[in-house]
Every structure is written in structure tokens, then in C-alpha cells.
Amino acid sequence: MNTFGKIYTLTSFGESHGPALGGVIDGMPAGMTIDFDEVRRQMSRRRPGRDALVTPRNEADEVEFLSGIMDGITLGSPIGFIIRNTRQRSGDYREMEHAFRPGHADFTYTEKYGLRDWRGGGRASARETAARMVAGALAAQVLAMKGITVKARLVMAGGVPNTATGEDELCDEVREAIVAARAAGDSIGGVVECTVHGVPAGVGEPAAGKLQAMLAAAMMSVPAAKGFEYGMGFAGAARRGSEVIDNWVSAPDDPRGMRAAANNSGGIQGGISNGEDIVMRVAFKPTATLLRDVQTVDDSRNEITLHARGRHDPCVAVRAVPVVEAMAAMTVLDAFLLSKAHIPAGGL
Amino acid sequence: MNTFGKIYTLTSFGESHGPALGGVIDGMPAGMTIDFDEVRRQMSRRRPGRDALVTPRNEADEVEFLSGIMDGITLGSPIGFIIRNTRQRSGDYREMEHAFRPGHADFTYTEKYGLRDWRGGGRASARETAARMVAGALAAQVLAMKGITVKARLVMAGGVPNTATGEDELCDEVREAIVAARAAGDSIGGVVECTVHGVPAGVGEPAAGKLQAMLAAAMMSVPAAKGFEYGMGFAGAARRGSEVIDNWVSAPDDPRGMRAAANNSGGIQGGISNGEDIVMRVAFKPTATLLRDVQTVDDSRNEITLHARGRHDPCVAVRAVPVVEAMAAMTVLDAFLLSKAHIPAGGL
Amino acid sequence: MNTFGKIYTLTSFGESHGPALGGVIDGMPAGMTIDFDEVRRQMSRRRPGRDALVTPRNEADEVEFLSGIMDGITLGSPIGFIIRNTRQRSGDYREMEHAFRPGHADFTYTEKYGLRDWRGGGRASARETAARMVAGALAAQVLAMKGITVKARLVMAGGVPNTATGEDELCDEVREAIVAARAAGDSIGGVVECTVHGVPAGVGEPAAGKLQAMLAAAMMSVPAAKGFEYGMGFAGAARRGSEVIDNWVSAPDDPRGMRAAANNSGGIQGGISNGEDIVMRVAFKPTATLLRDVQTVDDSRNEITLHARGRHDPCVAVRAVPVVEAMAAMTVLDAFLLSKAHIPAGGL
Amino acid sequence: MNTFGKIYTLTSFGESHGPALGGVIDGMPAGMTIDFDEVRRQMSRRRPGRDALVTPRNEADEVEFLSGIMDGITLGSPIGFIIRNTRQRSGDYREMEHAFRPGHADFTYTEKYGLRDWRGGGRASARETAARMVAGALAAQVLAMKGITVKARLVMAGGVPNTATGEDELCDEVREAIVAARAAGDSIGGVVECTVHGVPAGVGEPAAGKLQAMLAAAMMSVPAAKGFEYGMGFAGAARRGSEVIDNWVSAPDDPRGMRAAANNSGGIQGGISNGEDIVMRVAFKPTATLLRDVQTVDDSRNEITLHARGRHDPCVAVRAVPVVEAMAAMTVLDAFLLSKAHIPAGGL
């Protein structure tokens, strides 16, 4: 249950304060020249400690590739990789060994497994997403060969719209909201929007394999994600069909010979891409770790007061932006490769 | 890609106007006495033609069980079943054989498969959900043995809150909104909320197998679903952590010895159930079929005007309520059975 | 666990004496014109009652297709089908309701499920393979489009080589061996050899997805199969490498520009097809049902004497020939379609 | 396609001459105390260079565990591990960069991927099985808690029966056969028999999930394996049913209250364990690499003469013994955990 995808897959491992994180990427097309600098750049977008607005845990997040690549070119065999944890400070968590922190997975892991890694959330830590960044960065490089691009940005944080438009850029109002939350020992949520451009029509499957179902599962597997929508999403539920209908118009210059007048469907119809941009949004909750006293119980069911000392993000949605991109890239590549196997008889 | 689930699975088949729909349910526990009347009752909730507010296509939706059950008791072997289509009126669709209807899967199916079943949407029709109702009804009977109940209701339609609280009941304002939309040859969207009560703590998996990811995939596979959220969902993204924190309090009467003071987490933490109610919402778009002229193109890329004559729902969210329940029941049972295989060593 | 394959899949259902058998075929390429006469012909090869050498249970085994096909052409959507059981004579088995027949699954099903369908073996009956025949017949039609043919034949029965070479043909010595076994109320085993011709090089996956592993799993899932080998098989284990080495020689007329001097590898190297014929053999045990007194125990652990009255095959390997072909066709098509998704970057 | 199993899974990676091999083990029960010395002992059984009868490549095969274990106790989260390659001598293979060695996967990998790792077989090397040893060693420790033991031994090599009975022990005649083959620059095949003792009745699934199908797939995925059989296997195909019938007899001291008079079924009936020993045999071909001149072609289709200089086993079946055990342990644990999810309703 730690494997994402069906054809292009990532099987990930690693706890927040264990020796290393890592994973195995399977289904990578052979013969690709990997741009390792770009992998490094993507890793640095999610990296902790890079900015005053994110957790001060300063991890280098260097990726060591162990297989599946020879002389920088993919072999088609599985790509094993590891990322050493170098800045574990487990001592910060020792006093929480017996506490069930509110809004965290302390209780549920204990209940499921009979024990838990109390060091920084263990497997439940968002640090696990570092492995997804690697698989996403490689997927994006494959997609780029087909002219498919994936771009996400923070569109709202704590109720404040982000008017900045560059990659990972935040407008002053959003920066202020995050700083204010942190100053108060508090946190804020946010919404990330992701657009996938260039997906050809015909990717995705009917019924259980709908492209939006694959994307929703991918996004809802990101820690702190609480909601997913695409196209008109929740807003469309309050509208009339005549307001949001997605007419086709003739477009001789388009490879399809037609295009959607609006793109209210968000690029997917009946579970299958229609060639328009795929547009989705993911809601993230405010971080559960507050730098103030919180009331909870411990594993003996005593009521206790906790005061967190760990290193945390005041707004996880900020660092979630590249993770959303990574999940979108992995999922779209997976669906794309899968669509190669589900073909008209004429294409066998 | 027509199989839902991992342990409790439904593999479904069938086009809207083909001879029959049906499916194979696998992973059903053996020795269950099936309540066939309850299956029939659940089928009738989704059944077309039952009410002035839904499509007039009047299908009996009688389920014929073909295997996996002997003398009313499950054998543990796969349960094959079929539902004959009896009210096909393919002629209604003949003139649309070459049209790409807006907001439908006509174009994407054609692009993917090189041909499509133009009769009533074929495989993309919401009629496919009849098979899910069967698997959901049986799943609910298993869950009930463990004290787990699944209840959904329409909470909003076209912007109008539904204040009625009974199963499938609609308040006057919502009924009026639907009637008004239909009178205008139009349609409206809606939001369905679903609560699963009684799930023990420890169900769901970390990382790729998070319970919310399984639920999101299930819900986003329902035709016309455009959004999924659980717990605080999108609203939480605009809030501060201190406002939504999910404190544990001591509760000696609770089997867990504790309970959540609020249930802002929506019953799931770190991908695993915490014993609180699981609360989720699904957004449905307004039906794409309008009983008025719409502009689109045909498969020769000519711009054409269409006037639908098929039988359609003015608000699909109404009949989606039992489908949401069915998907929730299937998914929770699947995760519950899966959790039996992922256990502490002490429980081997 | 009733689903065969990954891309081209069959999910089957049905007990020997229930209302019907059937299944859902998923992953069928769209746009194929189905030859229904050929499906019927294949079904008749496995059909009981067709010959004095097989079980006298006389089933028509008519296949009703319910979806996935319009006007005789595949849609790419799942193909649901059923085969009604018409000649159930459950009464034959009533006295065996509490017996654990030797060499049958009576005890293991009871142990696993807490109850069992005692009517003719229930789900464990070889009658279940009728569904596989349908999926195999369709797979063979797809493969034929690519010049791939699958042919099996009985090469030995009860120690007697079958010198006949036609499809399903038996030499006089083998016929006599079967007749003699039946006259004695006894049964004999047999070996089926299957050759797949025309598979292009490059089909199959390394490690867990080796083509021989997929074929072995498929064949060992056939009731009564006890062994699988390919290429030199068990005989090769007693040989020296220098005797069985599989040299390549230049062959300008071959599409590969080369060919194997011998084909000791059986068409697969490193889990991947090499373009030579794939040659495998499957061993079948003698039917466990003997028409004579046998000693066993019942479900109260009393020792009892049973005298079978059911309708049985004196040599199941005879009717296993088309089943082996069906499983080979399904598996090779599955691997072929999967290889479309695992491709060099140049082929994206 | 590099993932073994369904619940207890190994996803492996690594080329023979890359930086490292490794894998991710998922589905490990939580709370197990790992015996690392026993893991080391198992690794040393397969280790090259340990004995004059196996390849002189001398690898330490030290396993570094990176996650899923805290203070020596499993967490239930995935166990990532790596094994560094330290004795690569790629230079040995440089002259074979363009050769298609007979009996190897050189041609098939090139055909599938468009390029290949020519260093010592790359991913196709038997060195890949080191990762399986780790997953097998951990699986065996879980099984031991339930009283389940897995033991394999070489029963024949190059036609010579192995009369030694200890673990990995070889009788003088077999040692002489191997030494003679090596002296001649040749190789011999062999057969490994594996017995799994203590599996409770009820493990395994009907139809596609038959226990023998899972075992066959596991064994046929081992490099050089050419055949699999269980119980009477191929020998039974030449016998009469009355000779091999598997009667049950009353056995008040047995937990089942009965036992098989013989165990001709090999411990599995209808795909499900019956509580008897599971007995299977795997045939291995003679190593394809001969230390003498062999004729073949290169990737330009020129006929060439090769003289191998790599380090190889004269009889791979010797080192296959612990690999067969590892695959059996992984597969039986997987099936055992899966059987926890497929249960009678009474056991929910």
C-alpha cells in the first residue's frame, strides 16, 4: 500500500527520523537522458529550511540514484534511489512519545500497528513526499518530450488570494498572512491549483479508471490534503447546466479540428482527457502542529497539555505546490502509458 | 479498469442500451445471509422513472444473481449478477450518432477507441451505476454486522440548501428549484454529504492507500462528480489551525477511552480511521443534457445545433445519493477487509 | 482473486450447479470484428458430452454476450457474458454433502469458508474453465491479427504417447488407454504441450513479470494441473550446458536478422520473448473421481466408503487441451498489450 | 513489474554492476523483533565466492536497512534496504557489449528497451535474487512464529541424485559432477525440492489465486528456472487415479481430526492448502555461460566466436536452493496474510 500508480509506479519508504527515505520507480521508459540538475531544482522547491516561511529543518535532500540508469540514460529497469536524513533531532519528540497529538496520526498508527515511530511523525510525516518529488521530476521530463507540462501554484492561503503568478511565488498579502500566523504560534490552510497542458485526447479509462479518480486518489494521498476538485468543481454544483455547458466549436488550427468554447469540464469527459487543459484544485488544512499549548490525551488516556517544539511549516500549502505538481506528473504519465495498452484494434 | 476495490471488488460491465448491465462481486465474506428485499429497496432508490423529479426512463432494475449464493447464503465465491435493460429507446439517439454532445464523453470515447456506442452514452451512461448499487447494497449488509452504517443525503441543489433530513427526502425549496430547472429545459448541480458511522480505529493505510484517497477515487469515479472533500474540506483551507484543531478528550465510556472534542478531521488521520464518524461531501455538476438547443460540432467537425430528446434527470445529484452510499459502503468494506491482512504480529 | 491478467483480464464467476457461469473480459481492443462461429467452435472443443471419452454431462455451453460489442464489433468496454447451466443433476451429489472426497477441494473449501457448495464441486469444478474458453477464444482472434497462433495437443496420457497430430486428435493407443481406464472405473493423467508461434521479440517483463512466470501461473490455475515447464524443462536439468546451449546464427531472411540454431530456451530469455516459438508443457493428474469404492472421512471425521455416481472424465487432460490454449492466448495477449506500455522513450 | 506479491510484497531494483541492489518490503506485520544474524546467515547461503563450487565473485552482500524498523522492531511501514555492489569488474564484459550471448537475455533486452546494460547481464543477472533473499529471510521469521517452516534442498544435479540431506549439503557424487563440469569449461542443471511444513488448511484462493499458481509464478521468476511441479507433478501424469488417490483417514491427534493417508496432492487441493506439507520441485537449466568458445552473432548480425571470462557458477541450482526457500517463504506469507482478508462472515 506504499505503491503509487499502475504502469509508472513509485514504491516509497522511509520515516521522518530514520536513516533514509527513498523509493523504487518502475515503468520508466528506456533511453531517456535524465536531467539531474532539474531533479535537484525540483527537490529544492520542496526542501525544508530554504525560506523563512517554511520549517527550519535544513535538509540537503540529495538524491542518490542506485539503479536503472547507465551513463545518465534510463535502462527501462527500476530506478532505486535514497535520500539520507541528516538533520534528525528526535530529542525534540521524546516528550511526545506517549502523547496523541491533535490532528496528527499518533493515535491511528498506534491503534493500527500496536506501536508507532514517535520521532517526528515517523511514516506519517510530510517528509515522505520527498520521494514523490523524485518520481514526479522524472515523470515531468518524460511528459515534456510529449509537449505535456504540469504547473501548480498556491491560489489562496488562509482566506487570502495569492495574486503572484510565478512558480512558487507569493504576493505580499499572503506572505504577511503566513508571517502573522507564525508570530501567533498558529498556522493557516491553503488551496493549490494545478494545470496540465498538452495531454492528448484519449487518456484515462471509463468506470473505475477515470482520470479524475486517479488524480483525486493521488492528491488525497498528500499529507494535509482535505479536498479535490476539477473543472467547475464545487462551484459548479450551485449552477445551472445552461451556464456551464461545455460547447464544442470548430477550430481548424487545432489538431482535433475543434476545441471547447469554455473549459468548464476541466479537460476530462467521461473519465478520459479531451485535449483541453486539465485543471484541478487541492485544499490543504492548516498544519496541526501549533507552537502554543494544546490540550489532548496520552496513551494512558490522561488529559495533558502539550507545547510543540518541533520544526514546522506555518502553511504547509506553500511546500505542497511542487508535491501537487509531482503527483500530477506521475499520474498523468501513468495514465498516458496505460492508454498505450488500451487501444483500438487498428493500433495493435 | 472496470474493477473497483482490492479485496472486496466489483468488476462491472454494460452499456446503457445494450442487452444488460451486470458485474462480478469478489471478496464477499462467506456465510452471510443476504437480505434480497433490502437489495431491491436500495435498487429502487436509484431507479429511474420512480418520481417526477428524475428521468422518465422506467426500468425495473431487477437483479438476477447467478453465482456465489446457495440457499440465500454467500459461499465466498464470486457473485455474478445481471440487470436486463428493458426500456432501451435507441432511436432517440440515432440522430446523435455523429454529434459530439457538449459535456458528454462522445468525443473522448471516439478519440480513445476509434468508435463509440452512440446509444444513450453507452458505457459512459450513469446507468452503469446500477451495478454499483448491487455491490454497495451487499457491502452495507456486511458492514451492518459490524455496527457500521452509511448514510448520504443531498445537502444542496443548484445553490439551494436541502433542509429535509430523511433518506432521499427533499425540502420544498429544492423540489421547486428542480422543477423550475426542468421547466426551463435546464438542469442544476448539487452536493451530497455522506457519513459513515461505526468504523473502528485502524482502517486505512499510510501513503498510497490512505482511506481518504480510496474514498476520493471511488467518489470521483461516479459520473458527473466534480469534487470531493472530507472533514473541514475546502472551507478549512481558509481557516487558522487554532480554529480547527482536533483535540482529544478523555472519554471513559468510549471503547477508545477518548474521543475527538470536535471532529474536524472527518474521522481519518494520516490515512487511517480514528473511530469518529467519517464525513465527506461530493459535488455533482448540472446534467449536461439540456432540453433546449445547444451548439456543438459533429464528427466531421461541422458546427451543428442539437436538441436533445432523450430521457434525463434535471438534477443528477438526487439519484446520486444512493450511489454515493454504495461507493462509500464498498470502499469502507474493502479497506476494512484489507486491514485484516495488515496487522500487528501479535494478531497473526 | 477470480481475475486473470493485468491488461487483458477475465473476471470469472460461477459454480458447477448454480444458475450460470460467466465472466467479464476487460482490456479488449476496440474495433475488432468478433467471429462468433469460431467462439462456438472453441467452446465445443471443451464441451462435455461431445464424445465417448469425456464426461456424459451434456451441456450446450451457449455463450450469451451482454455488453462490450455492438453490431458484432468490440467497443473497448468490458464484455460481460454468461453461460447457463442446463444439465445440473445436483441429486447425484446429495449423499456427498458431508463427505470429504479424496483428491477434491471439499475439505479445503469447508475449512476456508466455513461452508461449501457440495453440488458437483461448486466453484472448484473444472466447469469453471468454460468462462476461460470464451476469453481465450476472443484473445486468439486478436492475436491472429498479429500473426500469432496458439496450438496445444495432448502428447501423453497415462504413460502412452499420443502420436496423432491433428487438433484434439488421439491415436488408437491413447484411446484404448482411456477406454481401459474407464472400464476399470479408473482414470489416467496426461501431458499437454502448447506452442505459441509468431510472438515478436520483446514481450514479457524482467523480474516478477517474466513471461514464463505469467504462463506458469495461468497454467497452474487450471484444475488438475500439477506441473509446468517450458523449453528444455525438467529434462534440461539433467543435461550439460554444452549440450543445450542456444546459439544464435545469422538469418538474413528472418525479421530479426538472426535465429536460434536450436530453440532450447523455448522462446523466452530473461523473461522476455525472443521471437522463437514459445513451447511449454503442462502435466495433469488423473481425475480424482473414480467409479469404484474409495475410503475417506466425512465432516464429522467418521471414516466412510464412497461410491461416486457423478459424470466424470476418465482423462481430464483430453478436455484440458483447449483450456491450455485459452490460457496461453489470454496470457500472451495480456503480456503483448502490457509491452505496449513499457516502451523505449523513442516509442512514446 | 518488479513487485512480487499482493499483501506481503517485495519491489526490487538493481543491476549486477550498478552501485547497489535493493528493495522495498511492504506488508510486514508490525511489532516483530528481527533476527538480523539470521538474515545475515541466509544471505551467506546465496553469497557468491563462498565455496569452490560457485562463482568466485566475492561479494560481502551486507544489507543496510533504511526504514520500517525502530530499535530492531518492525513498524508496519515499508522496509527499504540496499546491498552495495563492491566487486563489479565491468571490464570483463566490455568485449561483450555488442555480442548476443547464447542462452542469455542480451538480445531480448536490446529488443525490448532499445539498449541494455551489458555489464554482467545488468538487471537480468541472478545477482538480482540477493534482494529476494532479504524479503524471504524476513518472511521466514514471521512464518516461524506460526510454526511454519520452509526447507529446500538440491535433489539432483546434471542427472546425479544428491543423497546428502543437510541444508545446502552436497554428496560426493554431486560435488564430483560439478567439479568435472567446471574442469571441462561446462555447466550442469539441477532440481531443487522445497517443503513447506505447518501451513494451516485454508490458505490460497480459488481460480486465479490458486496457491500453486502463486508458487509457480514465484519459482518461474527465478533466473534459470525452467520447470515447476508440486505433489505428484509430471510423474503423476503417467499414472492411474487409483494409484495416486489421496484418501483422508481419521486422525484424532491431528488438529484437523484427519490426515491424508499419502500426500499425493502435495498439500494443496482446489488451490487451497489442506494442512499437509506443501511439496514442490523446481528445475534449473545448466548455466548458459560456458568457459569455452561459443558461436553466436553480435548486434550487427555478424557471426562471432565468444570466449567468456566472467565469473560464473558451474551449477546455478546449488545457489538456487536458498532462493527457492526465499520465494516459497514470501509466497506462503503473502497467501497467509491474504487469507486473513477472505474470511467467513463469522470471523469478521
Give the model confidence (pLDDT) of A279-317 as tens digits: 999 999 999 888 889 999 999 999 999 987 666 789 999
A–C interface: beta-carbon pairs under 8 A: 68
Other CB atoms within 10 Å distance of the CB of residue D72: 11
Q: Which three cell numbers stand for residue D56?
A: 568466485
Give the model confidence (pLDDT) of A8-29 as tens digits: 999 999 999 999 999 999 999 9
- Residue D208 contacts B, CB cutoff 8 Å: no
**C18: pLDDT strictly greater than 80:** yes
Of D162, D157, D121, D102, the residue nearest D286 (C-alpha): D157
Which residues of chain D fall below pLDDT 50?
A: none
**C52: pLDDT strictly greater than 80:** no
pLDDT of A165 reads 87
Between C51 and A342, where is the model more confident? Answer: A342
pLDDT of D92 reads 67
Q: Which helix (H) or strand (E) holds C21?
A: strand C20-26
Q: Is D142 helix (H, G, I), strand (E, B) or coil?
A: helix
Q: Which three cell numbers stand for residue D51?
A: 565455496
Q: Do residues C279 and C231 lie in contact, with contact meaning Cβ atoms separated by under 8 Å?
A: yes
Average pLDDT over residues C161-168: 93
Q: Which helix (H) or strand (E) holds D45?
A: helix D36-46
Strands D3-4 and C303-307: unpaired
Mean pLDDT of chain C: 93
Residue C255 φ/ψ, nearest 5 degrees: -55, -25
List the subunits that have 3+ CB pairs under 8 angstroms with A: B, C, D
Q: Do residues A344 and C32 lie in contact, with contact meaning Cβ atoms separated by under 8 Å?
A: no
Q: Which three cell numbers stand for residue B28?
A: 464477499
The torsion angle over the Cα atoms of residues B62, B66, B72 and B73, rounded to 10 degrees, is -130
Residue matched to cell numbers 479540428: A257
Mutate to test the interface with B, among C66, C94, C118 (most CBs of B within 10 A): C66
Residue D208 φ/ψ, nearest 5 degrees: -70, -25
**C256: pLDDT strictly greater than 90:** yes
Partner residue facing C343 (CB), from A29, A206, A346:
A29
Complete DSSP assignment for C194-245? EEEE-PPTT-S-SGGG-HHHHHHHHHHTSTTEEEEEETTHHHHTTSBHHHH-
- Rounded (10°) angle between helices A36-46 and A129-145: 140
CA distance B283 to B200: 27
**A198: pLDDT strictly greater than 80:** yes
* Nearest residue of chain C to residue A139 (CA atoms): C345
Average pLDDT over residues C87-110: 84
Chain B residue numbers touching A264 (CB-CB < 8 A): 103
Provide the shortest C-alpha distance from residue D27 to chain C (in Å).
17
pLDDT of D221 reads 98
**A62: pLDDT strictly greater than 90:** yes
The torsion angle over the Cα atoms of residues C84, C85, C87 and C88, rounded to 10 degrees, is -150
CA distance D115 to A79: 16
Mutate to test the interface with A, among B11, B108, B187 (most CBs of A within 10 A): B108
pLDDT of B89 reads 67
- ipTM of model: 0.96
Burial of C346 from C-beta contacts in 10 A (0-12 / 13-18 / 19+) = exposed
Q: CA distances (Å), B37 to each of A280, B42, B72, D297, in order?
A: 41, 9, 12, 70
Which of A152-166, C48-62, D4-18, D65-79 is predicted with the least confidence, judged by mean pLDDT?
C48-62
- Residue D72 contacts B, CB cutoff 8 Å: no
3-state secondary structure chain A: CCEECCCCEEEEECCCCCCEEEEEEECCCECCECCHHHHHHHHHHHCCCCCCCCCCCCCCCCEEECCCEECCEECCCCEEEEEECCCCCCHHHHCCCCEECCCCCHHHHHHHHCCCCCCCCHHHCHHHHHHHHHHHHHHHHHHHHCCCEEEEEEEEECCEECCCCCCCCCCHHHHHHHHHHHHCCCCECEEEEEEEECCCCCCCCCHHHCHHHHHHHHHHCCCCEEEEEECCHHHHCCCEHHHHCCCEEECCCCCCCEEECCCCCCCEECCEECCCCEEEEEEECCCCCCCCEEEEEECCCCEEEEECCCCCCCCHHHHHHHHHHHHHHHHHHHHHHHHHHCCEHHHC
Show pLDDT as tens, one digit a residue, over chain B (348 residues): 899 999 999 999 999 999 999 999 999 999 999 999 999 999 999 887 666 677 766 778 899 999 999 999 999 999 999 999 987 766 667 778 899 999 999 999 999 999 999 888 899 998 999 999 999 999 999 999 999 999 999 999 999 999 998 989 999 999 999 999 999 999 999 999 999 999 999 999 999 999 999 999 999 999 999 999 999 999 999 999 999 988 999 999 999 999 999 999 999 999 999 999 999 999 999 998 888 899 999 999 999 998 876 667 899 999 999 999 999 999 999 999 999 988 777 777
pLDDT of D311 reads 64
**A144: pLDDT strictly greater than 90:** yes
Its pTM stands at 0.97
Using only C-alpha atoms, chain B has a radius of gyration, in whole angstroms, of: 21
Strand locations in D36-123 (E): 63-65, 69-70, 73-74, 79-84, 99-100
Burial of B172 from C-beta contacts in 10 A (0-12 / 13-18 / 19+) = exposed
Q: Do residues B258 and B249 lie in contact, with contact meaning Cβ atoms separated by under 8 Å?
A: yes
Give the model confidence (pLDDT) of A69-97 as tens digits: 999 999 999 999 999 998 776 666 777 88
CA distance C121 to C93: 9
Whether A273 sits inside 8 A of B108 (CB atoms) is yes
pLDDT of C49 reads 64
The torsion angle over the Cα atoms of residues A163, A321, B328 and C11, rounded to 10 degrees, is 130
* Nearest residue of chain A to residue C147 (CA atoms): A348
Average pLDDT over residues C122-131: 93
Q: Do residues D17 and B333 lie in contact, with contact meaning Cβ atoms separated by under 8 Å?
A: no
CA distance D190 to D185: 17
CA distance C140 to C328: 9
Phi-psi region of D98 (alpha: psi -120 to 50; beta: other; left: phi over 0): alpha
Chain D residue numbers touching B203 (CB-CB < 8 A): none
CA distance D220 to C215: 9
Average pLDDT over residues C22-45: 96
**A108: pLDDT strictly greater than 80:** yes
- Residue C115 contacts B, CB cutoff 8 Å: yes
pLDDT of B90 reads 64
pLDDT of C92 reads 67
CA distance C249 to B202: 60
Chain B residue numbers touching A228 (CB-CB < 8 A): 216, 220, 227-229
**C107: pLDDT strictly greater than 90:** yes
Provide the shortest C-alpha distance from residue A339 to chain C (in Å).
8
Whether C213 sits inside 8 A of D205 (CB atoms) is no
pLDDT of C345 reads 76
List the subunits that have 3+ CB pairs under 8 angstroms with D: A, B, C
Q: CA distances (Å), C143 to each of A299, B298, C197, C200, D140, in order?
A: 60, 34, 10, 11, 42
Residue A61 φ/ψ, nearest 5 degrees: 50, 45
Q: Is D226 helix (H, G, I), strand (E, B) or coil?
A: strand
Partner residue facing D75 (CB), from A9, A64, A122:
A122
Provide the shortest C-alpha distance from residue B140 to chain D (in Å).
13
- Residue C118 contacts D, CB cutoff 8 Å: no
Give the model confidence (pLDDT) of C65-79 as tens digits: 999 999 999 999 999
